[in-house]
Structure 1
Amino acid sequence: EEEMSDKLKRQQREVEAVAFEHRQRIMREEERLRAWRVEAQSALDGREDTLKHRERALELRERAVQAREAGAEKRVAEAAEAVANAQVTARAEVEKEYLELKANLSAQRLQLEME
């Protein structure tokens, strides 16, 4: 009986040792997974921050481009208006010059007819 009791105690110690080793492995694996999860989350957070900064920079660039485009469109419109005004002015000047020449020719013709 004593031998049987010793044998059972040895088997129990062996089972406890195996169980202890399994628990230790499980705890190490859980710790490894926790560390991996923390590292993965940190990497993800870093990537999200980088993405947010890039999105903000892109947004600022888009606004700058839109502002430049609006300025260019305004300058084109102003130039078109200036051309139209110049055409009106030139036409008025040519018409005035034509009327002056016509009046001058009429006066010269009248003078020639009187002579």
Structure 2
Amino acid sequence: MMMSLVPLATRMRPQQLSEFLGQSHLLAPNQPLTLAIEHGKPHSMVFWGPPGTGKTTLAELIATNTQAEMIPLSAVLSGVKDIRDAIAIAEQRAHDNQPTILFVDEIHRF
């Protein structure tokens, strides 16, 4: 039997907000982020923390639970043009009432 080529971290990643551990001050019932997700209106935010603490996973879960398109960029590999292009896509989607989450990983590298 062939082993999966999907990384273990990806296979173990939570698929539902209820599976996400930690950040209960934001994700518990009636807390700010939970309410924003429930209303489909996530706001601008910056996730900060060491590698492996769930920043990307939480962003993906927010996108999934708000039916938003997630545009992931890496500040290591992206430049101003990439950001502008992503914003243009997000603006067009907003015009069509389709939410977008622009996720910039390693933002401190800009």
TM-score range relative to shorter protein = under 0.3
TM-score by length of 1: 0.17
TM-score by length of 2: 0.18
Give the number of the structure whose residues are more often strand, by fraction: 2
- Relative contact order: is structure 1 or structure 2 higher (C-alpha 8 Å, sep ≥ 6)? 2
Higher Rg of the two aligned structures:
1
